[in-house]
Amino acid sequence: MNLQRVVAIAGKEWREIVRDRLFFTLAFVVPALLMLLFGYGLSLDVENIPFAVVDHDRSAASRDYAYRFIDSRYFRFRGYAGDERDAAQLIGSGAVRVVLVIPPQFGKTLAQARPAAIQTLVDGSFPSRAMTTKGYVTAINAAFSLAAVAQAVSHATGLSQQDALAQLTPIALESRYLYNQSVSSIWSLAPKLIMVILMLSPPFLTALGVVREKENGSIFNIYASNVSRGEFLVGKLAPYVAISSVNILLLWLLAVLLYQVPFKGSLLFFLPATLVYVLCTTGIGLLVSVLVRTQVAAMIVTMVVTMIPAVLYSGLIIPIVSLGAGAHVVAQLMPAMYYTDIVVGCFLKGVGLMSLWRPLAVLALYACLLFAAGYQLFSKRPNI
């Protein structure tokens, strides 16, 4: 490998990138903008769920029950609906996601200290949201139920209502949330966004680089020159890796300064590990660009092999343990999952090389394999 030639290729590529002002700007703007947009917009908290109430009872108890939901920050009251038909229409159109149906005699039944029934309709189009919503509904219902029981008990035993309530809840659940004490989404989200964005932008930048030369025909200059395959690929990729390295810093700063995510690990471990990850994703771009012939194909293949798996199979939204067999295999095959361990470990758990050497080793191996494959498949004597 002749360093001079590598530098020459890298210099040419760099100049080409810089002269394309729009492209050069977008290379930095796109990651930062995505970080901003998703950081604010990609909230996984299920809150402000729109709901309506069908109250057939119209008693004090039924209003009291509805108020428990109206007061909750998890639900947003959208008004009373006349009957079940209206309610069905509201759910169907997506205007509300939950409808409480309070039957007639609800208040009377409770006053007679007998169990009463309520029906809740939940829009199940989004299963995970429906699950969470069910969780909220059950919790609010349980609180109301408990208050009603406490009242009945205090009536029967002569205890004050407060004492009755204390008697009825002898066990307190003391939960400790590890790794994200506030359970605020942005803390668990921002580090993973770094992972997603570094999965998206480096391959895209790279994939087009090689294919562009193929499609333009300027690659024949390389074929005819004395530059070796290795020199060409290293020189070609170096500027893109450099751009992505700047982006690493940029994204890290955004996470720490803007989103105030505590960074408990060491930068000395985090930055090199992230660089290895960027080499992996750049390698994906390289492999795609060697395999396809047109830029259109390069763009689309990169998009589908990086963006969607980066979101679905990386642990961003869905934890890896909940993946089924097929997706689990895909997750193992993608670098994103391993880097998620690293980035989450560095930010939230404050662990370092000692416990993260395994994913780091996998990433390094992955990068080597990708580059080896890219090197093998790139030929200076293509069969056209």
Residues 158-177 that bind another protein (CB under 8 A): 166-177
Q: Is 213 in the site for another protein (CB under 8 A)?
A: no
Check residue 18 for interaction with another protein (CB under 8 A): no
Q: Residue 334 corresponds to which amino acid? A: M
Of the pair 228, 307, the CB lying nearest another protein is at 307
d(CA 9, CA 202): 19
Among left, alpha and beta (phi > 0; psi -120 to 50; other), residue 59 is beta
| 237 touches another protein by CB under 8 A | no
Contacts of 160 (CB under 8 A, 6+ apart): 154
Out of 18, 308, 369, 372, name the contact with another protein by CB under 8 A: 308
CB 208 within 8 A of CB 298: yes
Minimum CB separation from another protein for residue 11, in Å? 18
Please answer whether residues 47 and 129 qualify as being in contact, where contact means their C-beta atoms are separated by less than 8 angstroms.
no
Per CB under 8 A, 141 contacts another protein:
yes
Q: Is 132 in the site for another protein (CB under 8 A)?
A: yes
Determine which residue in the list 18, 60, 70, 131 makes contact with another protein, applying CB under 8 A. Answer: 131
Q: Is 152 in the site for another protein (CB under 8 A)?
A: yes
The dihedral of CA 288, 294, 299, 301: what is its sign?
Answer: negative
Q: How far apart are CA 35 and CA 245, in angstroms?
A: 16
Does position 318 interact with another protein (CB under 8 A)? The reply is yes
Of residues 273-302, those binding another protein (CB under 8 A): 291-297, 299-301
The residue among 9 and 343 lying less far from another protein, judged by its C-beta, is: 343
SS (H, E, C) 296-361: HHHHHHHHHHHHHHHHHCCCCCCCHHHCCHHHHHHHHHCHHHHHHHHHHHHHHHCCCHHHHHHHHH
Span 20-39, contacts to another protein by CB under 8 A:
20, 22-23, 26-27, 30, 33-34, 37-38
Of 4-12, 149-157, 218-226, 258-266, the window that binds another protein (rule: CB under 8 A) is 149-157
| Least distance to another protein, CB of residue 370, Å | 18
Q: Which is nearer to another protein, 114 or 381 (CB)?
A: 114
